Amino acid sequence: MKRCSWVPLHNPLYIQYHDEEWGVPVHDDRKLFAMLILEGAQAGLSWATILKKRAHYQKVFA
């Protein structure tokens, strides 16, 4: 699979995010809200940090 240049190939979380989620349209309101929360939490942090914590966010907002 061809990947964007911003994907660090040494990080499996980035690879999975890119391959399974990046650029895929989302129409579910709950999923869109979850994405909004993660984007807000990312302010000042690396996206890798947010991807690592995503399971915790999903548990809290379930």
The domain segmentation of the chain, as residue ranges, is: 28-62
pLDDT at 57: 86
Catalytic residue among 20, 21, 22, 47: 47
Token pair, residue 35, equals: 């994405």
22 a catalytic residue: no
Tens of pLDDT, residue by residue over 5-60, are: 999 999 999 999 999 999 999 999 988 998 898 889 888 888 889 999 999 988 88
57 a catalytic residue: no
Cα–Cα dist 16/62, whole Å: 22
Token pair, residue 14, equals: 């980035």
pLDDT at 22: 93
pLDDT at 43: 87
Catalytic residue among 14, 17, 22, 57: 17
Q: pTM of the predicted model, to two decimals?
A: 0.76
20 a catalytic residue: no
Q: Is the dihedral of CA 6, 59, 56, 30 positive or negative?
A: positive
How many CB atoms neighbour CB 33 within 10 A? 11
